Amino acid sequence: MTPEFESTVQKAIENDVLPGAVMLVRSKDGKLNYTHSLGPLSLSPSSSPANSPLQPDSILAMASTTKLLTSIAVLQQVQSGKVALATDISPHLPELAAQPVLSGFTPDGQPILSPRTEPILLKHLLTHSSGCSYTWNNPDVVTYLTTITNKTVPVPLTPVGGSTVPERCSYPLSFQPGKGWVYGSGLDWAGLLVERLSGVKLEVYLQDNILSVLGIKRGEITFYPARYDALDGRRAE
């Protein structure tokens, strides 16, 4: 990469366009092999040690990148014959199957709820067509949770911290399954489905059946970085 490229990224960090960047580029023939990191490990002024730079092996939040790993795990269940893409997941995920469809509110603020009439198929969970939204992209769900049920609104990207998928994602659907599209928690539920079909926690399943096959050691990709002392000092804030 050219110095001009790195200078452009550095200016973006200085102008608060980017918090930082870890850049890795590999060409198939091996002739291009580039690794470079820019920016601070933490944006907190009280971070220790102060102003530590990002490193190529800094630990970053994967966020929705985990959806790819979960999808592979789900498709392994399909390949093994435990489930099919057209399977109605209701027997496996009764908490989700119990959710009605929320289509708005009456003038006096009461939710307009309709019974779910379409089956929630596994393929709906994988393609964001199950009716499952997130709270940040569905204001009606936020209103429902805060004013109707008095629940604390679950925040996306919050660390697991003991909460479960049913606890965080059991709220009404945005539409009848298969009748629309909205980016949402379908893959969260699909991960729970993998746990119930395999009998082990999702992280254990991913490590044993996907990550270890790729040569990724236990803890290098994890939902629980605090459990691994070796990651201390490498976690980006």
Residues 6+ apart with CB under 8 A from 158: none
Residue with tokens 């429902």: 144
Measured distance CA(159)–CA(121) in Å, rounded: 28
Neighbours of 27 (CB within 10 A): 9
Rounded CA separation 119/1 (Å): 51
> In sequence order, which ranges of 15-65 are alpha helices (DSSP H)?
none
Write down the catalytic residue from 7, 44, 47, 64: 64
| Euclidean distance between CA atoms 153 and 166, whole angstroms | 13
**Which residue in the block uniquely carries the two structure tokens 């789900």?**
74
Residues 97, 137, 180, 65: is their CA dihedral positive or negative?
A: negative
The question of whether 90 is a catalytic residue gets the answer no
* Spatial distance between the Cα atoms of 192 and 185, rounded to a whole number of angstroms: 11
Q: How many Å apart are CA 199 and CA 79, to the nearest integer?
A: 17
Q: Given the residues 71, 90, 179, 183, select the one marked as catalytic.
A: 183
* 198 counts as catalytic: no
* 44 catalytically annotated: no
Q: Considering the candidates 42, 58, 67, 198, report the single residue annotated as catalytic.
A: 67
- Tell me the helices (H) and strands (E) count for the chain, helix number first: 8, 4
**Active-site residue list:** 64, 67, 183
